[in-house]
């Protein structure tokens, strides 16, 4: 009975450590959901934001007041594209399809990134919705009372507001932590304990 208990204890230790390390992989959200007005239709309309973790952005949500096919571009830094009226050199881009919501108060367009975008905690980044360099972006819901302190509304590619923000959400996934030496020791101890107890039980069954 004691040997069986040691098997369960060792397995439990190993599983518990790995489960604890996996908790950090859950997605986090930056959210500014209060819409009072609609911004647009300007060229390269978007938002700058500050990453809350080191990892990747996997999803961006906006509240569009217009429908159609557009492009989502992401930039390193909080200044948008850096080019007035242009897309500049984005760090990431993909085509997106937006549906129109009837007001500024409810609903989100879910933009899943085909490739997660790497971010570093405390650093600023920007995204824009545009026509890939030609034409205007759709009108997007926002707020002129500076509800989000980590960035600002981006218009015309590189003009960043100090008082206005889009309605937007950023989904971030932290980079899984590397186990410390003590955590590796506990994992190894659990595996050895479970394996040794299992081997003893097997030998006893053979000799009986």
Q: Clarify whether residues 12 and 60 are in a common domain.
A: no
The reported pLDDT for the residue numbered 40 is 86
What's the whole-model pTM score? Answer: 0.76
Query: What DSSP element (H or E) covers 151?
Result: none
Q: Clarify whether residues 99 and 188 are in a common domain.
A: no
The reported pLDDT for the residue numbered 197 is 60
What values do phi and psi take at 206, rounded to 5? -70, -40
**Residue 176, Cβ neighbours under 10 Å: how many?**
12
CA distances from 61 to 31, 140, 197 (A): 9, 11, 51
- The tens digit of pLDDT for each residue in 65-114 reads 999 999 999 999 999 999 998 899 999 999 999 999 999 999 999 999 99
Average pLDDT, the chain: 84
Residue 131 has pLDDT above 80, yes or no: yes
Structural domain boundaries enclosing 37: 33-174
- The tens digit of pLDDT for each residue in 164-184 reads 999 999 999 999 876 666 655
Structural domains in the chain (count): 2
Q: Clarify whether residues 110 and 128 are in a common domain.
A: yes
Q: At what angle do helices 2-22 and 181-207 cross, to 10 degrees?
A: 150
Q: Tell me which residue of 151, 157, 104 sits closest to 128, measured CA to CA.
A: 157
Residue 100: CATH number of its domain: 2.60.120
pLDDT-based confidence at residue 145 (cuts at 50, 70, 90): very high
Angle (nearest 5°) at CA 147 between 143 and 153: 55
Classify the C-alpha dihedral 114-118-121-122 as positive or negative: negative
What values do phi and psi take at 20, rounded to 5? -65, -40
């Amino acid at each position: 009975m004691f040997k069986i208990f040691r098997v369960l204890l060792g397995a439990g230790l190993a599983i518990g450590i790995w489960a604890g390390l996996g908790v950090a992989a859950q997605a986090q959200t930056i959210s500014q959901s209060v819409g009072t007005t609609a911004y647009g239709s300007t060229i390269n309309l978007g938002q700058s934001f500050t990453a809350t973790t080191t990892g990747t952005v996997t999803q961006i949500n906006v509240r569009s007041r217009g429908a159609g096919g557009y492009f989502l571009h992401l930039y390193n830094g909080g200044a948008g594209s850096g080019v007035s009226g242009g897309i500049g050199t984005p760090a990431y881009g993909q085509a997106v399809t937006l549906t129109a919501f009837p007001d500024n108060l409810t609903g989100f367009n879910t933009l899943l990134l085909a490739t997660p975008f790497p971010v570093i905690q405390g650093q600023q980044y920007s995204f824009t919705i545009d026509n890939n360099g030609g034409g205007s972006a759709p009108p997007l819901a926002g707020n002129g009372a500076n509800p989000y302190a980590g960035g600002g509304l981006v218009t015309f590619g590189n003009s960043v507001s100090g008082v206005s923000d889009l309605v937007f959400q950023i989904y971030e996934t932290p980079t899984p932590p590397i186990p410390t030496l003590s955590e590796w020791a506990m994992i190894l101890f659990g595996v050895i304990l479970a394996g040794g107890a299992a081997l003893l039980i097997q030998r006893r069954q053979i000799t009986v």
